[in-house]
Amino acid sequence: MEINVSIEVNVCVPDDEAVPIENLVSSLKIQNIEARILEQIITATDDKLVTLLCGEKYSKGDGNERYARAGTSEKKAITSVGQLNVKLNKVKDIDQNKIIKPIFTRILFEGKKQYQPDIVMISVDFVEKMSYRDTVEELSIVIPKVPSRMTINRRVMEIGESIEISHKNAFMSVAMADGTKSHSQEKGIRQNEINVIIGIEDERKVLLGVTVNKSWRELSETLYYEKALSDSAVIVSDGESELINAFSDANIQFQMDLIHGFRMLSYKLWEDDRLNLKQRKEIINELKTLLLSLKNVVVFQNSDKERIGKTINQVVDGMESLANRLSDLGCHKSAKFINEYSNTLVTFARLSINGTDIPWNSNIIERLMGEISKRVKHKWMRWTTRGLETILRLILVRYTDPQRYAEYRNDTMGRCENSGVKTKISINSNVI
């Protein structure tokens, strides 16, 4: 079906003064030309479909027609080009004794919702980066009609729940996990607990799971049943005990981020309150010397497996000796930390002997958590569990798989190469 729409635009500019181009832009935008053209396309399509079913308007049939005109109804739809107000024809199917609207067989609207998918997706894109209030304000600069904050919030939850986290049967061998908190607006919940785990394969990042106010145990069980991790996967993290306990049932190995290891020892030394600042720094530097020397051997002498093995033994012995000295000094929490986590601090080196390279730090997920932090952790922001989890899914899918997110966005906005719609525009100008 081919629809031709004619439009005439009359623009008057002063004869004796220059007009800034932004004035011309504004004058055209005010007219909502795209919305008016779209209205005419819908109306013309509707008229043609009804004519095919019922014949020309006011024509007399022979009484055996299946379809008959049955009046009109108004349809309001809001798109990224503005609000549409069209009258749609209704047709009675005499054989089935029901009223239909033929236009809906050729043009699909978002059900009875006013805001159509294109403007909703634009709103979702904005709200991933700024607050709902700011989204409404900024969108009003670029599109004629903006959804309310509540409408955007509702649609964010719908889209966030519909976008898939494609990790089933991923069998990732290396993963990174981290958790954080945000303020809650739900009764009885002071802070929302956010847990995130991603898979790492070469330069590829795969979102394996994101939960709000659920335990690491629940997330680990989900990943187990969905086979998101391989049987001997390695999880790189900050060493959170709940996380390690949640995944310890399987043959999962753990690598504690070395930087977090240094920070954790510093905190434990402060808690023990037995050494002055200078002494605490000396202890931390001793651990740094041990572990960073091991890291350098792994990075720069990767082919010398014997050298790596000897260095691992030296580092483990050095940490054991350090823990014993701390215990003698009365720094029992610090000593306990080193004893409990010493093996997880050298996992990356042990695996390198077998030719398996894993990160010794969790920088990748730290950057990801930074994306979360700048959007949801402002002190004035309060979140429901559902609202937070859905927006996090959107943010993290976009971060870990930008191509898939772009495809989802383009599909939602109708930016498909094979959409079946072809448009040609011919413009003639006449200066008077």
Which range among 14-28, 238-252, 337-351, 411-425 shows the weakest confidence by mean pLDDT? 411-425
Mean pLDDT of 331-353: 94
Compute the distance between CA of residue 211 and CA of residue 230 in angstroms, rounded to an integer. 21
Q: How confident is the model at residue 236 (pLDDT cuts 50, 70, 90)?
A: very high
Q: Over 80: is that where the pLDDT of 426 sits? A: no
Contacts of 360 (CB under 8 A, 6+ apart): 255, 257, 258, 295, 298, 348
Query: What's the confidence (pLDDT) of residue 424?
Result: 80
The predicted-structure confidence for 238-280, as pLDDT tens digits, reads as follows 888 899 999 887 688 999 999 999 999 999 999 999 999 999 9
Mean pLDDT of the chain: 89
Contacts of 309 (CB under 8 A, 6+ apart): 353
Cβ proximity of 331 and 277 under 8 Å:
no
The predicted-structure confidence for 288-301, as pLDDT tens digits, reads as follows 999 999 999 999 98
The predicted-structure confidence for 382-391, as pLDDT tens digits, reads as follows 899 999 999 9
The predicted-structure confidence for 58-110, as pLDDT tens digits, reads as follows 777 667 788 888 899 999 999 988 899 999 999 998 888 999 999 998 888 88
Mean pLDDT of 107-115: 88
Query: What's the confidence (pLDDT) of residue 391?
Result: 93
Query: What's the confidence (pLDDT) of residue 329?
Result: 94
Query: What's the confidence (pLDDT) of residue 27?
Result: 87
Of 149, 140, 151, 152, residue with least CA distance to 29: 140
The whole model's pTM is what? 0.82
Contacts of 418 (CB under 8 A, 6+ apart): none
Q: Over 80: is that where the pLDDT of 22 sits? A: yes
Query: What's the confidence (pLDDT) of residue 250?
Result: 65
Query: What's the confidence (pLDDT) of residue 288?
Result: 95
